[in-house]
Amino acid sequence: TNTNTNTNTNTSTGTNTSRRTAVLICPAQFCVPADYDTFLSALKEKLPNLSPSSRVAELPRTEWIKVARQLPTAEFFSANLNNAKTLQWYFDAMEQGLADIYAEEGEDVNVCIIGHSIGGWVARSYLGGLGQRSTAVYKSTIDRCTSLVTLGSPHKAPSTALVDQTRGLLRAVEESEECSSEGLAAKGISVTCVGSTAVKGNIFTTNVEEIVATTSYIPLVDDWKDILSSTGINGDGIIPRDLAFMEAPSKRIEVSTCSITGNNVRHAHVLPTPYNLWDPAAPSIPLPEDFCWYGSPGVLDQWIENI
């Protein structure tokens, strides 16, 4: 299941290519493990040798409330939030999932981390050491992780953007050499970034999807006036294309349409329900079946070989 040719020099026994691979999925904001049930099943169906221990990091939507602890701080207002402090709860969930994988598989397993949306750059932060973890699980993961795949994840925080939505978190990841694709490659971790170009932002439109895309793209990009140009700004409806990719040697996979249905590839397959705190693990609101995303059949095939 693993086409990565990198070899992790920290491995003490065996070779990476001789092990089977387990996947840990890092979910998007306010998404829950149940939202990825179909996606995980599709991975296991298409990759028969994928470890049955593969799973989604357990993050009920109530966990996201913990970010609010940082809202009244000086670091928040100055856009200098600390990854280790602000995202500890997310890193904890990742490590619990990884610990469960190691408990089931023992030492003889490779790990691929798949991050959807925010989950991609949070995983990058974790692997690059910004979580300041010294646990046995972290050390094992640096030894066992052979690939990181990000799906519609923003990897850049332009200094000229209208808003720093992550209040310095993503900027710190972007500026860290250890979190760069070269830094991760030095650890034996190949990086693949998957981003969609299907949805064009358009100010002069009555199309609801284009309006939503425009309002999402404008605060994030280096120069919002690009949306007025002849080429405009394309992306997956939430994340603009230019933010979805890391520098070389990471692999860049641009997708646009589903190879089966021909439908556009969009950012997500569900509408998160952050208000549903009385049932924090309940699935989000599913979007129509013809609403394709990175994990849909016919889109998954365009990048799955990088696990």
97, pLDDT greater than 60: yes
Confidence of residue 38 (pLDDT cuts 50, 70, 90): very high
254 is written with which tokens?
Answer: 């641009």
Residue pair 212/287 in contact by the 8 Å Cβ criterion: no
Q: What is the pLDDT of residue 7?
A: 38
Kindly give, in sequence order, each residue whose CB lies less than 8 Å from that of residue 161, ignoring residues fewer than 6 positions away. 219, 220, 221, 222
pLDDT, tens digit (0-9, with 9 covering 90-100), for 194-252: 999 999 887 777 778 888 888 888 888 777 666 666 667 899 999 999 899 999 999 99
Q: What would the DSSP string read from start to end of 91-160?
A: HHHHHHHHHHHHHHHTTSEEEEEEEETHHHHHHHHHHTTTT---SHHHHHHHHHEEEEEEES------TT
Q: Which of 192, 85, 95, 183 is nearest to 141 (CA)?
A: 95
Confidence of residue 1 (pLDDT cuts 50, 70, 90): very low
Q: What is the pLDDT of residue 269?
A: 95
12, pLDDT greater than 50: no
Q: What is the pLDDT of residue 222?
A: 74
13, pLDDT greater than 70: no
242 is written with which tokens?
Answer: 């230019």
pLDDT, tens digit (0-9, with 9 covering 90-100), for 249-290: 999 999 999 999 999 999 999 999 888 889 999 999 999 988
